[in-house]
Chain A
Amino acid sequence: LAKTTQPISMDSYEGQEVNITCSHNNIATNDYITWYQQFPSQGPRFIIQGYKTKVTNEVASLFIPADRKSSTLSLPRVSLSDTAVYYCLVGDSKTNAGKSTFGDGTTLTVKP
C-alpha cells in the first residue's frame, strides 16, 4: 500500500486559498488519490478524487502532476468551518481488497 506524507498542520485566514500537498512516491499504476475531511468525533467526509491532471468540484480542486508522486488539494476562500483534519488516501477499490492506509493528516486551522 502506498504511504502518504502530509504537513502535520497549517494555519490560514478566512477568505484565503489553502493548498495542502501530499507526497505518495510509491503510488501504483491503478491507484487513485482521494481526499477526505474530518471534524472531531465524526467520520471522514469525501472531498474529491482524481487520477491525473486536475479535477474540480463545487468545494475543491485537486492537482496531480504527470509523475503522480504528489497531489495538492486546493480549497478556495476558506471559512472558519473549514477548520478540520484533511487526509489524502492512495489506492483503488479493485486492488489490494480496496484497502488504503491513512497517513497522519493535516490539521488546518482557519483564523478570523
Chain B
Amino acid sequence: GAVVSQHPSWVICKSGTSVKIECRSLDFQATTMFWYRQFPKQSLMLMATSNEGSKATYEQGVEKDKFLINHASLTLSTLTVTSAHPEDSSFYICSASRQEISNQPQHFGDGTRLSIL
C-alpha cells in the first residue's frame, strides 16, 4: 500500500524556535497533501491543504504566517511552525492523496509530536 513518511517523529525545543516537519510520499506522486493537528483525546483538525506547485489553502482560524507550508514536489511537503510557543505543542499529522483521480483515500504519516518548552 501507499507509504507516507513523516519526519521527525518527535521534537522538543525552546520557545521562539522555528521547527520544520517533512512529509514524504514514498511510492506514489501526491498532488495533494493535508496537514492536521491533534490534541490529546481529540480528533484530527485539518489545518491546511497543500497542492504541488501552488500556495497552500488554510482552514479558518489557522495563521498562515505561523504555519508555513511548502509543497515543492509531488513527493514532499513541509510544515514550518515559526517562532513556536508552548500553545503550539501538539501532534501534527500529514496525509497525501492524488486529487486528479477520484476515489483516492488519504494516506497518513505517523505524526510528529511537537513539545515547546
Contact = CB atoms under 8 A, between A and B. Distances in A.
B60 interface: no
Interface in A83-104: 87, 89, 92-94, 97-104
B26 interface: no
Contact of A43 (B6, B32, B43, B97): B6
B57 interface: yes
Contacts of B1: 46
Summarize B's interface: helix, strand, loop or mixed. strand
A19 B101 CA distance: 30
Interface in B85-117: 91, 93-95, 97-111, 113
A49 B104 CA distance: 9
A100 B57 CA distance: 14
Contacts of B102: 30, 92-94
A105 B43 contact: yes
A92 B103 contact: yes
Nearest to A89: B106
B99 A94 contact: yes
B67 interface: no
B32 A93 contact: yes
A49 B103 CA distance: 9
Summarize A's interface: helix, strand, loop or mixed. loop
Contacts of B43: 87, 102-105
A7 to B, nearest CB: 14
Interface string B6-23: 100000000000000000
Interface of A: 30, 32, 34, 36, 41-46, 49, 51, 87, 89, 92-94, 97-105
Interface of B: 1, 4, 6, 32, 34, 36, 43-46, 49, 51, 57, 91, 93-95, 97-111, 113
Leading 8 A-B pairs by shortest Cβ distance: A43-B108, A93-B104, A102-B44, A94-B102, A102-B43, A98-B99, A44-B108, A43-B110
